[in-house]
Structure 1
Amino acid sequence: MGAAEVEKISDLVPHFLGIPHKKIWIDYDEEADVLYVSFKKPSHADDSEITEDGVIVRREKGAVVGMTFLNASKRGTAPKSRG
């Protein structure tokens, strides 16, 4: 991993610290263009809802245990490399 990649990830630290979960697992399926974010492993969601902008919020006993972002690569813009 080069300096540019380290810097990109470092830029995310304040965002990660703002999430009210201590553990986060992230998986990206490039073929399906779906980003999976889990706050509990293993999670056994018993309820879910999809938002108007294509985010599936997964809950277990009322608590959010994960989110699935459809069309992930089309959300916002990727930060530009500074190096």
Structure 2
Amino acid sequence: MAAAEIDSIEKIAALVPHLLDISHKKIWVDYDQEADVLYINFKKPAHAEDSELTDDDVIVRYDKGQVVGMTFLHASKRRKSLE
């Protein structure tokens, strides 16, 4: 196995405790590299009736008052805060 693959596995494995702590048990993740936007959905289809833009460029999407997804704008810039 290549070093890059091992690094990816370790990074994903580090997320497991955090993923287990959230109330949503199904999660879909898509990254649009050209737009630098990371989409996280907790429901498919990802229909939302309302949304809110936070101060740190996260769009929180709601359906019937429940969070159904989040959109992280400028996603690659968030990587630097973890290093």
TM-score by length of structure 2 reads 0.86
Q: Whole-Å Cα distance in 2 between the matches of residues 78 and 3 of structure 1?
A: 22
Alignment coverage as a number of residue pairs? 80
TM-score by length of structure 1 reads 0.86
How big is each residue's C-alpha offset from its partner over 1:19-61, in whole Å with a ceiling of 9 and x where there is no partner? 1100000000001000000000012100001001110000001
Q: Whole-Å Cα distance in 1 between the matches of residues 6 and 31 of structure 2?
A: 22
Larger fraction in helix: 2
Given candidates 13, 17, 23, the residue that maps to 2:16 is 13
1:61-72 matched pairs, under 5 angstroms: 61-72=64-75
Structure showing greater relative contact order (alpha-carbon pairs closer than 8 Å, 6 or more residues apart)? 1
Which residue matches 2:42? 39
Q: Whole-Å Cα distance in 2 between the matches of residues 23 and 29 of structure 1?
A: 20
**Is residue 8–residue 79 contact of structure 1 (8 Å, CA) maintained in 2?**
no
Unaligned 5+ residue runs, structure 1?
A: none
Q: CA RMSD in A?
A: 1.7
Which residue matches 1:58? 61
Q: List, as ranges, runs of 4+ consecutive aligned residues in structure 1 with deviation greater than 3 Å.
A: none
Identity rate, percent = 65
Output the amino acid matched with 1:33: D
